[in-house]
Amino acid sequence: MTLGLWQVRWESGPEGPYRVGTADPAGERPARASSAADPVTVLVLPGRGDSLELRARVAKGLIRHGVQVVMVEHVGQGASPGLGVRPDAVHIDDFDTHAAAALAEADRLDGPVVLLAHSMGGLVAAHVMAARPDRFASAVITSPMWGFASVLPLPVTRLLADLAGRAGKAAELAAGERPFDVESCLRMRGAAGDQAPELREHARRHPDLVRGGSTWGWVRLLPRRCSSSVAFHWTGCGARSPW
């Protein structure tokens, strides 16, 4: 299936289907020839709520430099069915699902793999590099979610999330989380320049692809995963989540 510059295929995971997009430099006029003996592939691990459509510009810029780009669209995001009670909620029952999908894709690739990860994708990247440090040549990680910002003290947030899970509400929006609103999203992202019109247009054209607030299940899992990723060897590199 072709989606703009992406060649898209569907993969199956334990929590549902997800998309993988490949953007190949064939047919593009490279801005700079690659000097690597083996072709380099950039494996993109996007942020919370991101879709293939939203990150097409990133891929377009990279393939002009002669590298293949592969993006794993996290299960429950983009075109894959939402896993929460609301279709636009960000929910996951097992965070290892994201890491397993990224590692499976890396194993399908030949030659050097460079990770390009953003926000929640940075947390996924920390886990996959901890599991398979020999598989990745390098990594570029922007605004990584290696810490968790909470309005309440974090132990209180964890307790509330645990109680919500025991009450059968793990897939419901957590307290203070809201349905998708493009202007709120822009404020959180600090979008500037031409990014704001691009995000507004994306939300207008693809209302079924956008994601809003996070569920109690997501809130329960992420602080623990942030702690374990930093404990591996990222000590001193923690960052507060923009979400």
**Tokens linked to 172:** 């419901």
Give me the pLDDT at residue 237, please: 37
Q: Are 151 and 219 in contact (CB under 8 A)?
A: no
Give me the pLDDT at residue 88, please: 85
Residue 163's alpha-carbon distances to 76, 134, 182, 217, in angstroms, are 23, 39, 30, 10
Taking the C-alpha atoms of residue 43 and residue 41, their distance in angstroms, rounded to an integer, is 6
- Amino acid at site 226: C
**What kind and span of H or E run contains 225?**
helix 216-229
Cα 110 to the center of its chain, rounded Å: 22
- This prediction's pTM: 0.84
What is the set of domains in the chain, with CATH numbers? 2-234 (3.40.50.1820)
Q: Which residues contact 147 (CB under 8 A, 6 or more apart)?
A: 226, 230, 238, 239, 240, 241
Give me the pLDDT at residue 31, please: 45
pLDDT along the chain (243 residues), means of 10: 86 91 70 56 93 88 90 92 85 91 94 93 92 93 81 85 94 86 67 68 82 89 72 39 30
